[in-house]
Structure 1
């Protein structure tokens, strides 16, 4: 049976905290304010334990913001998100961004921000009553953690909605909320960076014991670099090259502080056996505290009502009653390079003929590929270990995947997934845990992501790659057992960017990064050119979905900026709607 990790106790207090601080009020509050039914600050804020519990409540709210980021991969070209297990959002490239899809995420962000502001508004008073150095240091650390969490929620808001209401203290009811207007995203960005800079000066680099998984200095630096990089990308798209270069340089400086730590990749970046790659093991809960993982959202796991649903979303009916809500596509399969050459294999042929050369249903078409492919995807003929319906028992026989046969007896039952593939990444192959009760932390920032963002920033500032950048990308490629990049082939800025993008696609798939990359690089029109867009097919050549087919300009514009929830505008005339949604 599974024994919860120590850090996941962080959330054990949140059930009580929810009753004390953030229980649902009888009436809805604008911008998800903390209800007035909360326990009085005079009664609660008495000890350092109270402060820690309150900050844990901010972590819990932050988890709700980011716990299903992987669904966003379905809004890119390499993953099909056929639906969601929590019935929130529609993740199709040409059909997202509306309040009906993502108004909930606006509320999630402000819920975390309001909790953070509540903590910051009370912790100073408690600190003034303390005199022990250890207690004072703890209060400083908790403030830094809270400002970090507030920052990444505001970052999500400006990324999706642009200008947003910005405030740094607990609002005094709806009357004050009604007076808020949208703050320019540049101002919000500067405040985000200020919070992250503060956090980076206070937070420790590493934790131990019960504190494992809390926000660290490395996490603050990584997200500061990410904010700078995204801002630089946005400014580059707007033609503001001076502002772009300033923030590319700032991003590189932030990331460099992590690069120079020489943190190793999981299992030193070695690929492991071809039939059991190390990369797969990185995405199992028993390795979630590896130094490669810089920041995650935490899950308590079995019997705590704080579990994740990765096996439900990524797994199949034979692996603990999963539902295959997300699955790879043939386009992703085509991106896995050959270990012999380090280059791409011939494109797959979408066909029912399993003996056809390069057929997507021919298992031989996938031989000799990047080891991360075997760790990430399941294609025709591949097997998986079976788990009982409740996920508690490992069954004696494994079953193969046969697209077109989902009887669950002779072949794996892939439920309603239609892409022709399933995920192996994130899917548990050990018993003792139900599909909605998982302990796996969901990674928001990993070391390869930092290296790739650093490479992107330096490539922009330098006008091309440096030897250091080749070294970093080759370390990432090594875990797939791929040869080093050809330095002559990728010597220019444009070609090296292609190498960066390739590694981001393969290394970070299933982690919700691709959608945000497409938007910051403004690549939607390139991937889905008007007016034809693209049609996604399964491995046998049957249509799965249309993507920007006959779409107008507004459809592309809405991909880049989401709809402000109309309910916010209805009660506050100062909140204006984004132009593509008027």
Structure 2
């Protein structure tokens, strides 16, 4: 492995944080794309402007984590392994996630690892350097809150993907130091995530407006903390965190489900957090429209969702999800807003419509990746309450608000025809929440992690495989993914997850 001026190999570069932090510019002003300033971390961060630039670089890491040219993003881990989707592109080796034949040499593992730890390194640099820069305490703590939110999000994704992961919370300034980090027990990683989000909640503003729209907020920290606590089965604490979002009245369900995903309605009332993208040839457009659209003749593609040219359709909406929508009934408006069908040469493929846009060119669309939204909060709150005390009124009210909106009914109006009965059992409400999350949040990066969180991945997926005549079956070792082989070869104290080579 060759060395350059600062680091040995991509793994060390990521942990060291010595790779330059670049920004570019776009209409989403807080990402600040116009000035392609590059600040080596060993030389910059001596004044307030450099801190602002560094925080911007941390935000830009979210594009890497959720999907761009350097990394395929979270859908690879959260949707393809689930019953929502299946891979169509073997050249990308996404099929290994689909049929659980993963080995540690899969390049998707390495790219996700690198962008995750690059984001963490950028956050750690700000946390290490901003203390010596002249800023007001309130401004400094707000910056700290923003990067601690981003760091918590990066670690939350990492621990869900790999389980125990290296926990790095300070700037690494030497190669030798980088090799000191082995895997940390996930309970300790979760404790750090909780600490970061608690700090972020206390120091972030209630809302961001104007040029700051899209930056982390108090509600985003509360919502993500609620999800982190729920994942650990800390139901009482999760309910408290999620109830803060509900009681804050800063978010609301969009009246029309399809409007959530319009590029003309980004960061709407339902969005707590999103990875933001902007098209226009600036290098920070989203890839999702091209990735998810069907591979069609250009003339045909022009008639579908206004797309330019043809798509690459890395993965398809699974017919099993289509069947679940059919079982939900014709009045469920989420189906029409969630997927479409294309038929070429008598072969029908389903595709997600949540990332439809007219790109400037291939891989240059406007669609943000929604990380957390209000319907997710309501369903998580219902789950947390139900796991403690069964189907109480608060839990039922939260689920019913989502169900009513799915039928185009006003969420504040009693609708006994669609509301869940007060007599529903705890077990049946648990199952219904699982279904509503699948239908409501399809293709938004939740399904596989939901199944793992609720201990349902093995029974649900094995039943799905049996139902679809697949020979694939999964067991406990499949609930996390293998660490990339490059990392283990570079850092000898890293160990592989059981069951993987």
TM-score bucket of the superposed structures, by smaller chain: 0.7 to 0.9
| 3-state SS of 1:378 partner | strand
Aligned residues: 454
- TM-score (normalizing by structure 2): 0.83
| 3-state SS of 1:302 partner | coil
1:424 deviation in Å?
A: 2.3
* Structure 1 pair 550–186 and aligned structure 2 pair: CA distance change class (3 A): closer
Residues 281-300 of structure 1 aligned to structure 2 (within 5 Å): 281-300=259-278
Q: Give deviations 1:451-494, integer Å, cap 9, x for gaps.
A: 111111110111x11222222212211222174233156x2110
Q: Give deviations 1:262-310, integer Å, cap 9, x for gaps.
A: 355444x3xxxxxxxx322221211111121000001132121101012
Residues 51-450 of structure 1 aligned to structure 2 (within 5 Å): 51-67=51-67, 68-71=73-76, 72-83=78-89, 90-96=96-102, 98-100=104-106, 101-126=108-133, 129-130=134-135, 135-232=136-233, 247-263=234-250, 265-267=252-254, 269=255, 278-316=256-294, 317=296, 318=301, 319-320=307-308, 321-336=310-325, 344=328, 368-379=330-341, 401-402=342-343, 404-405=345-346, 420-428=349-357, 431=358, 433-450=360-377
Contact 2:17 / 2:122 at 8 angstroms: preserved in 1?
no
Give 1:479's aligned residue: 405
1:181 deviation in Å?
A: 2.3
Contact 2:18 / 2:41 at 8 angstroms: preserved in 1?
no
* Structure 1 pair 315–577 and aligned structure 2 pair: CA distance change class (3 A): closer
Greater mean alpha carbon deviation, residues 34-43 or residues 250-259:
34-43
Counterpart-to-counterpart distance in 2, 1:465 and 1:139: 43
Counterpart-to-counterpart distance in 2, 1:153 and 1:210: 24
1:470 to 389, 393, 396: 396
1:344 deviation in Å?
A: 4.3
Give 2:304's aligned residue: none
Are 1:493 and 2:426 counterparts?
A: yes
**Gap runs ≥5 in structure 2:** 21-38, 68-72, 302-306, 409-416
Counterpart-to-counterpart distance in 2, 1:476 and 1:330: 23
Counterpart-to-counterpart distance in 1, 2:12 and 2:95: 21
| 3-state SS of 1:534 partner | helix
Are 1:534 and 2:466 counterparts?
A: yes
Counterpart-to-counterpart distance in 2, 1:573 and 1:42: 26
Counterpart-to-counterpart distance in 2, 1:65 and 1:125: 29
Are 1:574 and 2:493 counterparts?
A: yes
Contact 1:310 / 1:435 at 8 angstroms: preserved in 2?
no
Structure of higher CA gyration radius: 1
Q: Give deviations 1:26-54, integer Å, cap 9, x for gaps.
A: 74442613465755668532432211110
* Structure 1 pair 432–324 and aligned structure 2 pair: CA distance change class (3 A): closer
1:260 deviation in Å?
A: 1.1
Give 1:15's aligned residue: none
Contact 2:11 / 2:490 at 8 angstroms: preserved in 1?
no
Counterpart-to-counterpart distance in 2, 1:550 and 1:140: 49
Q: Give deviations 1:240-267, integer Å, cap 9, x for gaps.
A: xxxxxxx111111100101112355444
Contact 1:41 / 1:122 at 8 angstroms: preserved in 2?
no
1:56 deviation in Å?
A: 0.8
1:178 deviation in Å?
A: 1.7
| 3-state SS of 1:80 partner | strand
Q: Give deviations 1:204-256, integer Å, cap 9, x for gaps.
A: 01011110000111111111111111111xxxxxxxxxxxxxx1111111001
1:153 deviation in Å?
A: 1.0
Counterpart-to-counterpart distance in 2, 1:444 and 1:137: 26
* Structure 1 pair 562–99 and aligned structure 2 pair: CA distance change class (3 A): farther
| 3-state SS of 1:439 partner | coil
- TM-score (normalizing by structure 1): 0.72
* Structure 1 pair 96–256 and aligned structure 2 pair: CA distance change class (3 A): farther
Contact 1:327 / 1:422 at 8 angstroms: preserved in 2?
yes
Counterpart-to-counterpart distance in 2, 1:375 and 1:196: 33
| 3-state SS of 1:402 partner | strand
| 3-state SS of 2:79 partner | helix
Counterpart-to-counterpart distance in 1, 2:91 and 2:371: 20
Counterpart-to-counterpart distance in 2, 1:84 and 1:470: 43
Q: Give deviations 1:35-94, integer Å, cap 9, x for gaps.
A: 657556685324322111101111112321123323431211122232389777843042
Contact 1:251 / 1:457 at 8 angstroms: preserved in 2?
yes
Counterpart-to-counterpart distance in 1, 2:359 and 2:157: 35
| 3-state SS of 2:272 partner | strand
